[in-house]
Structure 1
């Protein structure tokens, strides 16, 4: 079977090469083509010199590339002094900070992770490269945590904001982020810095060092690097003024009272639970308990619903009480790079990377929104309440409790990443080649501590007096004395530690991810044509990825209220071949200084889903000196990841209405799992743009680019009710997911991942920069902005328009970044503004009808950076520099935009507040 697949790919590559040379040629600049990731030196800012720019393997400068490329240079990285490259990327308008330590800190599996997300299309649709090579995924979803990339080694970052699957393969749907590392480093460079918020939390430090030296007359270079990072995290929303306002969204409990269906307001408290217990039903409703178990009246506020209310008791005890704003992070990174110039034309390089990350956080404590039942014979029932129940003739009442005494659920996750890359590159004549083999391994250990064991809790809270001993025991222990149940006192803070330990448990999961990649590229000039050389780059790649994981037995049995990790086992491989070509069409004509075509096509054969073809065709037209138009059209894919393919089945009981049986309400077993029947998502991307480098005003650059991305067959899952309804409406493909017994009743509904969703987005990127001498120094001003005109998401049933919306998963219409820098001799100062435009809370809502206030205000965050060279070597090769960074200089509060876990949207708004960073960096 393997031989058949290899032969199929080789045949396809042959056909690709022929079609690429004849049907879809692309052009080259006058300089040679460089396969691979490009040079390690700072990216050129002007001129006609050709370099390899991410998004193409053809040598050219960024301005002449047909696909838009944003470059983040080393100077800007130093200005921001970020300890993680993701922190810098998420300030760029085309990125969305949807998966960062402040947005997924409470996740049971990805807490503290930093995953990049271009266009808001999902981090699994943005391809991350390191020196043009894939990096081993750090999660079963195929994503790479940027915490595992040593920032001290990063020389620059190139971002392609358009489809690039034809050049780099799967996942490059929204674009590509290529981290260019320092190569053949000479000397010693490092930094030490500390961080702290104005409130004294988010405290941390970072120390990083890179050292390199050449031997054997420069033929051998050894570079080592390391980084230590620690941050103690930030507390809950109640540590901030804006959080203590307790803004949240409540549902109007009495429609027709003249108020909208939903209301966003402050002073929102829990209406059906308190930390020490609250009676929620019957004549005794509104009786709460203090820490000593004494009963007293509960003061209800207004708009009292089944879960929340406005005002009343409960200040400071909101459901969000325990959610940390950012987690504790410990990180250690190390790398060794050895390069050897074996001959004048061949270089061999070995790279070893190791990273270890430990993330700890706190999320929510166990809770019950009035869903518990307390019986009259409960062993811990206060006598006053027992007497009142007797008067009323009550046998039981509803009860709610926010069990802060038990403690919060605490994710405690370890990730160890190992990566080895063996590469070689060289030339023979005018042709250049490169090849590499990469092995990556990730050992991931997740621990979720203090999670409620549902069965133990329900048994422990249902206590009685043992008639034999007169002591409190679980009711279940009367029948089964050796069942291990320990009675729990829910009234006040009176429960024993033994009972608390009995009702909670620690979950764990161990997962090992492996990746093997082997790739080779060859590039050169085929012929000199009328307008320049026809150049091509061809190559092939083999990739194997696997995941093996297990978990604790109780998680596998769904025993807990959260987490419930499942085993996973699966693997896939893919053979790929591509060809890219550059074809110069016209030169030096009126209004056509140059006209070039660029094209690429790739065929991939996946072991799980078969063959997939991607392609792109682009053009650049320089009308006159400095002014270029560019356009691309591409077909891109994202293959299903390990999680989507092989996730273990999880069974739950859900209530559904069966339209085949007069919409009768039933409880059906639903099984959610991955699916090996998945096929790749398919995206069509169009970009149109213009760039201008002003010859009449040196230092002025501008560009504008339109993008339109449409993804079909996106991988998603439907609810059990969706499956039934669509089957009834005639979607026979979904009927196969519904199993019925001989009596016609539903026995099971399979909720597998399927290719059913779609995503569409379009917008415009703007960039303008200007650099000029001023007062003995240099001033530079760079501005980036993105306008999202359309962001549409469909699950195959409901279409949501999400552009300009801040409730998840919306994206704002406008985002921007502006950096003004002045440097003179030893001094440098930068002011960076990050702008998030305002919009609606939810595009579906009509203000005054569906919601009281559907407006989310925008924010402008200012960050100040100061740098001073304390010492400089006379040779000019070394220096010691002190720096200070103040983030959120004006201490702007986040806008109100509630979600289930926050009163704001941390993907767009800063939740830490004013924070300081200071340190020393050096180069020797």
Structure 2
């Protein structure tokens, strides 16, 4: 059960935590959030602890699921077993909802391996069975640990001192499908050199089988859309869903009700051919050809074929749409091999060498619906697979074409002219014959840490005493290979649809006539590789600076060097845009380095006076010198107070300034040119109210000829190009965190512990596309700021002759420090132990009950997309949806009750997620927008509160054999359904999607 730093692993509330390095627990300890060892665990910043027992009783074989269930974390949409994204295959933690890149993952207090240009730790590389406990600090910690600790630190304390042999096995099965998950661990450890050294080696194997949306059935099988359900008619709106729409929500005069309707893709296995004039808009010759071919009612959706490809008819929706759901993974398969080793050796009584080694091979697959291609495509008007009537339709389309037309097909293009025997249609087809799209992520990770620690001694009795040192170096390398299969080559497809030398085209895509020869001709695979490395070297000294009447002044100081590099090498076919089915990727390569000096003090100010049992101040700083021109040198710092009024009451508070330096992807990510619709305020396309002298002045200052301002000459077309991607001149993100709390440990019952802590985190300079996009950048430059020297105006490049934004004079909408985030709320934790005078026959005559609870009340979660528009805020607390993302309920909590009698413990856990309302209603309402939709005009605007009940047990047969198991979500709750969820018609990273999950495990020690 997550608890605060004072409680862990069944310890009483006042008991100290075990030392992070496995040292004597009677000695001073180090608590995450500080480098200074202390005799007590009270800290200015609240520290949540997830103990080894809680990890085991949760039944989660992967640690990211356990972390996602604590109330201080939000479901990670792209970093979990349910994401099914490409690229993907990783697991991460998202503290306070600010994203995985804004919290720092440590192992034994040191940075761990990263993956990819995003520089995030893959939690798949951390075995649950080796974790002694997890200490979580939520709030800025950059002064202590450096960059990335905006929303806090997750520190995994590992079992690194072990003697004997321990084997462990666990099996998980879900109730709806019976899909197994296996994990096996074998740990060996022992002392050597007469107890001066210890070496631990542990191996892990995990295999998680897949569950598709089709297998999960009820809520996941269909691709759902919001719509109008008309009862008792043959209307297309009755297309099949098993969900009952809410009563009384009329949507049409004919008695319809808002609800979910079956949706999907218009690109279907029989083909959909569009991009042609409707029957009403066609010329008489084309109308005649349509009528003869059975297309007299053809509309904007075009036409499709019967299975044999011998007859065409207009395409209709949703009956013809392709259901994307069944093919997709709901739970991704995973196979992992891992080995970890920890060792230390006492060279002398005062110097110890230590080592940590890790290697893992992790394979996670994704599965998506078969590839679709929907693009302008050339066809011979005498295509032999078409009936004479349809050949005439193509001939009339060729004669009616605007001359000339250039058709691009991946890496090639071709220009067609009127009457040349080639017709252009948008061919939209789902190539089911090629198979479902598959992506296999294979990640090999190596990480080593080597160091020396020990005692220096004391320079004097009164100053610089009890000195200890720690010097270490870590190296981590992550190699990721992404293999993509069953995609389609655009250029090969186009070539296969045209006759060569009078021969029939290779492919017949009309109806279901694709044979093996066609599938082989158009299918293509791709392979991407990513390599990321991280090096850290640090040296630090801790001890007592001097003594004050209230106690010794503790300090820590040191230096650190880090270097991070990453390289993404996409497949040449994928980078060229020739591959359909997977997003194109552009090469990314770069590195960053930083040199730092840091220090920390803990000062006892007063003690043992009335109303002040102790008053302690703490402060820390870090100066970082980055190799990045946009960052350079930057300070982070913190200050706090711990006021122990009496043994019963402690008040604590802290302020922290933290930063995050931009990562390699944000700095050096490949540049993508996007051509899209936008309105240039310097042309005549903008509203007349904006054609002011002030706007004219900025237009002229940014390169528009004075005579051309507010005319069509500036921008003849509403389509203009812009480059999106990395920006090596990015600056750091900055955050300010405030915490204030009270801890109650009443003397009348030392078994009771309560803490209440307020948190407030504000982030400025959030990295995103400049201005939020091309149109916003134009508006900010010319309409809002009207400063030609602003970063928004400097991003606009214009043709010096016409003033137009045309290739090669392209707007540079690169990444920028453009947004702001803010959150605040209250964390509540409590624990109580009740001794009972009864037990269980055969086990014991006495027992005890332990109550634990951990809750978060969210007061605010606000995103300001563009700081230059401070009045446009997305207030997301209590909401979900396309703007705010994962559900952000007001209340979220976890509670556990455990009954222990000698060697048996029985436990019940309650997980609660509060109700949320769609941001399509809440965000505009809170902005005061006149365009706020009525709540009853939105399908299922609220997701109900979710209550999950989990049961578990633990039984020690003897000191060497232990059995444990349980069932999570025992009432088999289905997740709330919404079309706004990113996966499987729900938010699969937040809600349970596999129903009841049973688990059973055993461990054996020798």
Q: Which residue of 2 aligns with 1:38?
A: 20
Per-residue CA deviations over 1:679-732 (Å, capped at 9, x if unaligned) read: 110001101111112322232111111111110011111322222222222253
1:721 pairs with 2:772: no
> How much does 1:632 deviate?
0.6
Judge conservation of contact 2:364–2:442 (CA < 8 Å) in 1: yes
Give the aligned partner of residue 266 of structure 2: 272
Structure label with greater radius of gyration? 2
Match of 1:894 in 2: 975
Q: Deviations over 1:230-250 (max 9, x none)?
A: 112211256321224654335
Q: Does residue 591 of structure 2 align to residue 571 of structure 1?
A: yes
Q: CA deviation at 1:180?
A: 0.4
Matches within 5 A, 1:277-676: 277-278=271-272, 282-283=278-279, 284=295, 285=298, 288-293=304-309, 295=311, 309=318, 312=319, 314=321, 317-367=322-372, 377-382=382-387, 400-429=428-457, 430-461=466-497, 463=498, 469=502, 471-473=503-505, 487-561=506-580, 562-608=582-628, 609-663=631-685, 665-676=717-728
Please show how residues 760-779 of structure 1 align to structure 2 within 5 Å.
760-774=822-836, 775=838, 776-779=846-849
Structure 2 Cα separation of the partners of residues 781 and 661 of structure 1: 68
Contact kept in structure 1, 2:767 and 2:819, CA below 8 Å: yes
Q: Find out whether 1:744 has 2:803 as its counterpart.
A: yes
Using the TM superposition, give the Cα deviation of residue 584 of structure 1 relative to its aligned residue in structure 2, in angstroms: 1.0
Q: Does 1:834 align with 2:916?
A: no
CA distance in 2, matches of 1:895, 1:529: 58
Question: What is the RMSD computed on CA atoms of the aligned residues?
Answer: 3.1
1:404: Cα distance to partner? 2.5
Q: Aligned pair in 2 of structure 1 residues 131, 832: CA closer, same or farther (>3 Å)?
A: same
Going from structure 1 to structure 2, the CA distance change for 1:176 and 1:788 (only over 3 Å counts) comes to same
What is residue 790 of structure 1 aligned with on the other side? 860
Aligned residues: 850
Deviation at 1:772? Answer: 2.2
Task: String of CA shifts for 1:536-580, please: whole Å, max 9, x gaps.
Answer: 111111111112332222222222232323222211110111111
Partner residue of 1:680? 732
What corresponds to 1:780 in structure 2?
850
Secondary structure of 1:86 counterpart: helix
CA distance in 1, matches of 2:820, 2:961: 52
2:151 paired with 1:174: yes
CA contact (8 A) 1:166 1:616 kept: yes
1:242-289 CA distances to partner (integer Å, 9 max, x unpaired)?
Answer: 2246543359999x9869xx9973232237343323456734337543
Q: Residues 376 and 616 (structure 1 numbering): CA distance in 2 closer, same or farther, change over 3 Å?
A: same
**8 Å contact from structure 1 (residues 42, 73) kept in 2:** no
Match of 1:220 among 197, 203, 219: 197
| Separation in 2, partners of 1:593, 1:846 | 57
The answer to whether the 8 A contact 1:566-1:648 is kept is yes
Seen in structure 2, the aligned counterparts of structure 1 residues 518 and 668 have a Cα distance that, compared at 3 Å, is same
State whether structure 2 residue 84 is matched by structure 1 residue 64.
no
Number of the residue aligned with 1:478: none
Distance 1:449 1:627, change over 3 A: same
TM-score, length-scaled by structure 1: 0.86
Structure 2 partner of 1:7: none
C-alpha separation between the residues in 2 aligned to 1:833 and 1:346? 47
- Alpha-carbon displacement from aligned partner over 1:562-604 (angstroms, at most 9, x marks no partner): 2323222211110111111011111122221111111101100
Query: What is the deviation of 1:750?
Result: 1.8
Indicate how the Cα distance of structure 1 residues 652 and 662 shifts in structure 2: closer, same or farther if over 3 A, else same.
same
Offset, 1:295: 4.2
Residues 321 and 740 (structure 1), Cα distance of their counterparts in 2 relative to 1, 3 Å cut: farther
SS of the aligned residue for 2:37 comes to: coil
Change (3 A) 1:383 1:828: farther
C-alpha distance in 1, partners of 2:682/2:988? 44
Q: Is the 8 A contact 1:43 1:73 kept in 2?
A: no
Instruction: Rate the CA distance shift 1:165–1:251 in 2: closer, same or farther, 3 A.
Output: farther
Which of residues 914, 920, 924 is equivalent to 2:996?
A: 914
Label 1:358 to 1:889 Cα distance change in 2 as closer, same or farther (>3 A).
Answer: same
Offset at 1:519?
0.5
Alignment partner, residue 712 of structure 2: none
Consecutive unaligned residues in structure 1, runs of 5 or more: 1-32, 474-486, 873-877
Secondary structure, in 3 states, of the residue corresponding to 1:139? Answer: coil
SS in structure 2 at match of 1:365: coil
Following superposition, the deviation at residue 385 of structure 1 comes to 5.4
Conserved? CA contact 1:40–1:180, under 8 Å: no
Aligned residue for 1:481? Answer: none
Q: CA deviation at 1:340?
A: 0.3
Q: Name the CA distance, whole Å, in 2 between partners of 1:257 and 1:81.
A: 45
Write out per-residue CA displacement over residues 176-235 of structure 1, whole angstroms, 9 at most, x where no aligned residue: 000001122112223112222223354221111211100122101111011001112211
Quote the offset at 1:884 in angstroms.
Answer: 2.1
Partner of 2:821: 759
Distance 2:320 2:671 in 1: 42
2:743 counterpart SS class: strand
TM-score by length of 2: 0.79
> Counterparts of 1:822 and 1:209 in 2: how far apart (Å)?
29
Q: Tell me if structure 2 keeps the 8 A contact 1:757–1:794.
A: yes
Change (3 A) 1:359 1:218: same
Return closer, same or farther for 1:757/1:378 CA change in 2, 3 Å cut-off. Answer: farther
Comparing 794-803 with 386-395, greater Cα deviation is found at 386-395
Distance 1:637 1:391 in 2: 64
Which one of the candidate residues 32, 35, 41 is aligned to 1:54? 32
Instruction: Name the counterpart of 1:249.
Output: 226
Other-structure match for 2:84: 106
2:665 partner SS: helix
Say if 1:90 and 1:97, in contact at 8 Å, map to a contact too: yes
User: 1:93–1:817: 8 Å Cα contact kept in structure 2?
Assistant: yes
Q: Secondary structure at the match of 2:212?
A: coil
Counterpart of 2:419? none
Secondary structure in structure 2 of the residue aligned to 1:77: helix
Q: Specify the alignment match of 1:804 in structure 2.
A: 878
Whether 2:185 is the aligned partner of 1:208: answer yes
Q: What is the alpha-carbon distance in structure 1 between the residues aligned to residue 83 and residue 221 of structure 2?
A: 20
Do the aligned partners of 1:104 and 1:112 also contact (CA within 8 Å) in 2? no
* Shift in Å, 1:42: 11
Question: Is residue 555–residue 599 contact of structure 2 (8 Å, CA) maintained in 1?
Answer: yes
CA distance in structure 1 between the partners assigned to 2:972 and 2:374 by the alignment: 35
The alpha-carbon deviation at position 641 of structure 1 amounts to 0.7
Cα distance in 2 for residues equivalent to 1:195 and 1:658: 58
Contact 2:139 2:151 in 1 (8 A): yes
1:185–1:359: structure 2 CA closer, same or farther, 3 Å change rule?
A: same
Quote how far apart the aligned CAs of 1:37 are.
7.7
Partners of 1:272 and 1:547 in 2: how far apart? 39
In the TM superposition, what are the counterparts of 1:797-876 in structure 2 within 5 Å?
A: 797=869, 798-808=872-882, 809-810=885-886, 811-842=888-919, 843-844=922-923, 846-848=933-935, 851-869=938-956, 871-872=957-958
1:223-234 maps to which residues of 2 (within 5 A)? 223-234=200-211
**Distance in structure 2 (CA, Å) of the matches to 1:92 and 1:374:** 57
